[in-house]
Structures are given as C-alpha cells and as structure tokens.
Structure 1
C-alpha cells in the first residue's frame, strides 16, 4: 500500500515557512499557486477561533489542516499548520470568485494582473445552500437594514427566537456594517455581528465575511464587479516544478463515493492540462491527497520537472 509521509515539508512539497501579514498575495504568470505555508507554535490561551481571526483564516480551514489538534485546547507549544497557501480556482481571474467547498473568496482587482486578494467566508448551510453561477455587484450599503425573508422569520419563530420584520443597523444586525448586493435576488456578501462563526456553513445562503475583510472589500469593489460562485473541492495547480493538488471535503449535499472522487479529480486534471501544462502526475498521490482533504496544496507530480523557482519554494 502506498504511504504518504505526514512530515510537514513533504505535505507542502516546499521547504520554507514564514509569516504572511495580509490577504493580498502576489500572482506569478507561471504558477497557479499563491501564498506561502506557515507553521506557528500555539500559546497557552490560543484556540482555533482566535487564530483564525488573527491570521485571516476560517475555522474549518484550521480544522482540516490540523486534524489531530484539539481546536479548543491546542496546548502550549503545539505546532499549528496555517493553510496560507492556495491554488487558484479555475474560474476566470476577474472580479470576485467564490469557491464554496473551500469556504474562500478571491478578488482580482481590475487592471492589476500581479495580485489577488483572498479572504475566508461563511456560506449557506445544507438546507440553505449558496447558489452556484454568475452574478455581479449591483449595490453597496453601509450600516444596512435587514429585512428578514418570511422563510427565515418562520424558522426563527419555530425555535422560539422571533425576528422582527425589520432589523435596523446596530449590534444586533447580522449583516454587520457593510453589504454588497448581488444580482442573484436575495443574496448578499456582507459582514457579521458574530465573527467567531466565520469559516463555517452557518448562513441562510449569503456570503459572510469578517468585519475588517468586508470593509476592505467594500472600499475597493465597484458596482458592476462580476461575481462567480463555483464548486471546486479539488483544485489542481501548476508551478514550474510540477503539479499540486489542494483537496477540500465536498459539500455535504453531494453524494460521495470513489467514482465521484475520481470523476472530480479527472475534471480538475482536464482543466489544468487543457492549458498546455505537462501531464506527468501520480494518480496514486492524487487519490491520497483527495482522501486526506487537508485543504493544503500538496505535490502530486510523478517527478519534479525542474528546480523550484523562488516563488514556489
């Protein structure tokens, strides 16, 4: 049976670890991989919720990358992998791209081909799924008023948590202080008054962001910005030394079996190789990475094709 080492250097296929300080990352023309991996040592008071906010990550991202660590009591001195390296989704690199299984948003500033901004998000839970497809930003609001749909008010009433017909701006408004309205009727990209739940499937279908993230996005995204919502649990990316695969657990509402996994991996492979990249990668490695679903780019080429360049180390 094939075994994949869990040594961190092998997991990433890379050797250097250092701290990033922002959600803005450099894009390279010859690579689908952005960012750098990090490892930190937990302090006594750390929890995954605290670390997620500090490093601009989602709660589930930290869970996936550290499956053997207690998220509430990591323990002083415990090494924590921060999943701060990403393979870009295969969607067009324009405007906003949201990858649902990844619980992450990417923003490509107009006219700036050398950078991308990425943030963790929350999305709709299973019975309130966030829809796939193309959309655009049609309006922006500071201190938005929330008009809960009747379906949400009925749900809250059934749980003895009645909602008013109108929720004004303020600390009790779940939209937070900033909202971007999509052309998909009823859907927003917005902030939150409960940031501790960021990075999970907890919304009624809207895209939820940390308050500081939506504020920054709000200031930079013009009305008319295209928004693409995709479903890519397996992202295959290329650097100048070979293929990397980043695997995330598929959405709960999808029926998952070995055939489905292989079909999705094949789709990712076809999307990558259609761009004229090499085809030398190991299906055996890819299957292992897909099963682990750590949410981290992992090297899956059958052999290294070149000496890694500086930005892919």
Structure 2
C-alpha cells in the first residue's frame, strides 16, 4: 500500500512548506476537473522527534500522524525511522468556497475568493458526548484576545472533577481560546486558538474547533465576517487526478460505537454515488478499495482507471455490482 502512495507523489519538502510551523499549508488549486493537492513526504526521524512535534512542524494533527504511520512509536519513533508526513489531500466534494471543515479528517480547508489556492489546517474537534455540529453556517464575528466565559455545563463538569473554573478567564496564556476566536452562526460554537497544542488533531473540545495559535492567527487575518462555513463528516473522499481516481479513507467518527463493516460499506458506496462523474466513467479495483478502507490511513490511493461505460448502464447499478467484494 505504501509503495503505491509514494510512487504517485514527489517527496519535495520545499514545494509545500516554507519556514517551519509558523506557515500553514498553502497549496495551489488543481486544474479544473482534478481534486488532489499537495504531496506525501517521507522523512527520517531524529532522536528528539515525536509525532506531536512533527505534526506541529508540518501543519498536521496527532491523529493524522498516527493513522499514516501504523506500527511506529508516536513518542519515540527512533533515529533514522522513516516517518510518513501525510500532506496530500483529496479536496472535499462540493463548492470550493469559504471554509469547509471535515470532522473525519480533523481538518479545515479555506478557499479565499481572490486567490487560486487552498489553505488547510489541522483541527481539534468535539469529543464524545460533546460532538461538533454538522451543517452550513457562516462566520458571524471575529474577536482578538477573547475572554472565555465557561458555560454552566462546563463549569459543573470541571467542578465534579475537582477542577473548578472561574466565571471568566481573561486573555492570556491560560485562556483556552488562544489569541483569536471566530464565532459561528451555530450558537456557542467557535473556531479558535488553544493553550494546549496536543489537543490539535484529536477529539478533545466541547464541540468547538481548536487550531494551532499560529494557524488561527493567519486564518483570522484572511477570513472576513460573513464567510460561508460548511461542516461535514465524510471519512471517504473520492477524487480525480491526471485521469486516475483516488480514494482517501479515514476512521469514521461515530458517538454510537464503532461502525460495522456493513456501515462502512454503505458509507463508501454513498460517497461514490455523490461523485457520479467518477462512478460512471471508471472501472474500480475493488480489492484496492477494500485495502484503503481497512487501512484508514488518510493517504490518497489510486483505485481506478478510465473505462468505456456500457450504453444504458446506470451509475447505481454499476456501483452495486462492483461493490460486493467490500463485504
């Protein structure tokens, strides 16, 4: 599986990032009809490296690093160990405008109106019992150096754990909102910085979206009030690049227990049906699809080549016939 991913990618670091962690991942949009941006990178770990530090350096969250590197010790990879830096992405399906947050990726995409680029950032999202919302909204306000007014429910939770909170936390290093917040139309939900870097890329918040502080600083400077925000929860993303079809799979987020094989099968087929332009023109290698779904490593993998569609054959019929090997 890894060889297929790496063979399709250049391993140039300079093309993706400039001066370390103060720079977000900024990538040119692909040609019309294509959906993939960025490149997978492979580095050799140094003695002091951890996945948390490497994620911070390359604009990735902790879960992304874990998923892309199964079997590698997250806290002591070991000198010389090859570590995958998963900085290649299938863009979310749908309009490339405003902000798109995909919960299953722990990732935010921002498509500015005046540039043919996409900015993408790692996120911390709502933990079990405090899930982040799904739907369409907008940025309704922006605040620099915000104070935090913990809701009564959160104060009660902390008090029960022996960690009482004040009614207001002023701006500063102890403020969990970080240096900036952007309020969403969903009441009580924010995009904001954080005083706990380790929470980026995990389910750790009370529903809000946490960012590295240098990332939220950049996003805050670019994004105007009124920007559309679309929040999705799509673990399976299909995309086209240079005539091939790719699948990027993540572990589904489900507060009701781990999804079954049947649930995943249905989710994959539903994701493919949303891309009728792909499903109607491609011969899927369903053995590879099954491997990608099982791996859930977030790495885009080629799963299909163009084909001639039989006259009169529907997309749904083609998908249903070919999908059986996933079960």
Alignment check: 8 A CA contact 2:39 2:87 kept: yes
Structure 2 residue corresponding to 1:55, chosen from 49, 55, 58: 58
Shift of 1:11: 2.8
In the alignment, what sits opposite 2:189? Answer: 187
Look up the SS of the partner of 2:142 in the other structure: strand
> Retained in 2: the 8 A contact 1:64–1:293?
yes
More off after superposition, 57-66 vs 275-284: 275-284
| Structure-1 residue corresponding to 2:125 | 123
Q: Would you say the 8 A contact 2:200–2:211 is kept in 1?
A: yes
Structure 1 runs (4+) greater than 6 angstroms displaced: none
- Say which structure, 1 or 2, has more relative contact order (CA 8 Å, 6+ apart): 1
- What is the aligned residue count? 297
Q: Out of 225, 237, 240, which is 2:239 matched to? A: 237
Q: Give distance in 2, aligned partners of 1:219 and 1:91.
A: 25
One of 64, 67, 76 as aligned partner of 1:64: 67
Residues 5 and 301, structure 2, Cα contact 8 Å, conserved in 1: yes
Q: Aligned partners of 1:304 and 1:72: how far apart in 2?
A: 42
Match of 2:114 among 108, 111, 115: 111
1:282 aligns with 2:285: yes
In structure 1, stretches of 5+ residues that fail to align are 1-5, 306-313
Contact 2:283 2:306 in 1 (8 A): no
TM-score by length of 2: 0.88
Is residue 216 from structure 1 mapped to residue 210 from structure 2 by the alignment? no
CA distance in 1, matches of 2:6, 2:234: 20
Deviations 1:192-215 (A, max 9, x none): 011122111000000000000000
CA shift, 1:283, in A, is 2.1
Provide the residue aligned with 2:11 in structure 1: 17
Structure-1-length-normalised TM-score: 0.91
Instruction: State whether residues 13 and 298 of structure 1, in contact with CA within 8 Å, keep that contact through their aligned partners in structure 2.
Output: no
**Deviation per CA, 1:148-171, whole angstroms, max 9, x where unpaired?**
010000000000000011111111
CA contact (8 A) 1:91 1:228 kept: no
**Alpha-carbon deviations, 1:111-160, whole Å to 9, x = none?**
33x21100000000011000100110010000001110100000000000
CA drift of 1:284 comes to: 2.1
Q: How does 1:75-224 map to 2 (within 5 A)?
A: 75-112=78-115, 114-224=116-226
What is the CA distance between 1:278 and its match in structure 2? Answer: 2.1
1:236-280 residue CA offsets vs partner (Å, 9 max, x unmatched): 111123111000000031551122111111112112224686222
The alignment partner of 2:274 has SS state of helix
Given that residues 272 and 279 in structure 2 are in contact (C-alpha distance below 8 angstroms), is that contact kept between their aligned partners in structure 1?
A: no
| Change over 3 Å in CA distance of 1:275–1:242 after alignment to 2 | closer
Q: Give the direction of change, closer, same or farther, for the CA distance of 1:257–1:12 in structure 2 (3 Å limit).
A: farther
